[in-house]
Structure 1
Amino acid sequence: MDIEGSLLQLMGIVISEAAPERVVATMPVKGNTQPYGLLHGGASCVLAESLGSVGAALHASAYGKVAVGVDINATHHRAVRDGVVTGVATPIYLGRTTATYEVVITDDRDKRVCTARITCQLIQAPAGS
């Protein structure tokens, strides 16, 4: 996967494991904070959507399809000021037309920071892609 110039690269997201059944990545808190110095909730959503989308894309490829995000929600449980957060995406549902993942984001102490759910629609790849 080429992430050169992508949002993943800009946010420092590093994927360490990627399969339809489990996607794992880390993201630094520094550079991804809101004005109070806390991890930005939107950054957690970017991490969650990235992981769910990667898993869904890997699943979709078995059907000759691509995955596009159609829904995401997130509950932010605790604040994080520094270090690295880790996201783990696991499937809730893997179908022929949709894939839904739960993404759990934890801090350096393995405390849950955020729980997100992302659903992707699996569509035919656009011509020329």
Structure 2
Amino acid sequence: MDKEKEELLKKCDLMCKNTLMETLDIKFIDITNDTVVAQMPVTSKVHQPDGVLHGGASVALAESVGSAGAHIFLNEKKVAIRGIEISANHVKSISSGYVYAHATIVHKGRTTQLWQIKILDEDENLISLVKLTTLTLRK
């Protein structure tokens, strides 16, 4: 892994300290020119009452990864990113293991960004498909 990628992944993980992302054990594992990938363990902590991954936890994972990507790809220090619209389709349930959120930028504007996030299990089965729109706020 190159040094720049390693530094970006460290930066993403540091952003998670004392946040919902830390509570959900989200860890950033890869960054490319147009994609950010994070993993989240599927344990009872993120289950709904019947023992499968809660859709809200999937959406939190998706928004976390897309927002981190917007922050990284805009490469600006004095901005804050906010999710302004999110839509998720949950297509398969999972009760254990890990899920991986692959956030790919569809539109990279200075003010808004559009992301597609595929949440996959360890066998690359589609668990959820999420669309996220983010807004860039100048500080």
Matching residue of 2:38: 25
**One-letter amino acid matched to 1:100:** L
Query: Which is bigger in relative contact order (C-alpha 8 A, separation at least 6)?
Result: 1
Secondary structure of the 1:49 match is helix
Q: 1:42 is matched with which residue: 36, 47, 56?
A: 56
TM-score (norm 1): 0.90
Q: Distance in 1 between matches of 2:33 and 2:70?
A: 6
Q: Structure 2: which 5+ runs fail to align?
A: 1-10
Question: Identity rate of aligned residues, in percent?
Answer: 32
Q: Distance in 2 between matches of 1:71 and 1:95?
A: 15
Query: How many equivalent residue pairs?
Result: 125
Q: Distance in 2 between matches of 1:121 and 1:20?
A: 20
Q: Distance in 2 between matches of 1:7 and 1:64?
A: 22
Does residue 12 (structure 1) correspond to residue 25 (structure 2)? The answer is yes
Q: Which has more helix, going by share of residues?
A: 2
Matching residue of 1:54: 68
Secondary structure of the 1:96 match is coil
Compute the displacement of 1:36 (Å). Answer: 0.3
Does residue 115 (structure 1) correspond to residue 129 (structure 2)? The answer is yes
Compute the displacement of 1:64 (Å). Answer: 4.4
Matching residue of 1:94: 108
Once superposed, what is the RMSD of the aligned Cα atoms? 1.5
Q: Distance in 1 between matches of 2:130 and 2:69?
A: 14
TM-score (norm 2): 0.84
Q: Structure 1: which 5+ runs fail to align?
A: none
- Shifted more, 44-53 versus 16-25: the winner is 16-25
**Cα 1:20–1:53 shift into 2, 3 Å:** farther
Per-residue deviation, residues 36-82 of structure 1 (Å, max 9, x unmatched): 00000000000000010001112333484332110111000001011
**One-letter amino acid matched to 1:15:** F
Compute the displacement of 1:4 (Å). Answer: 2.0
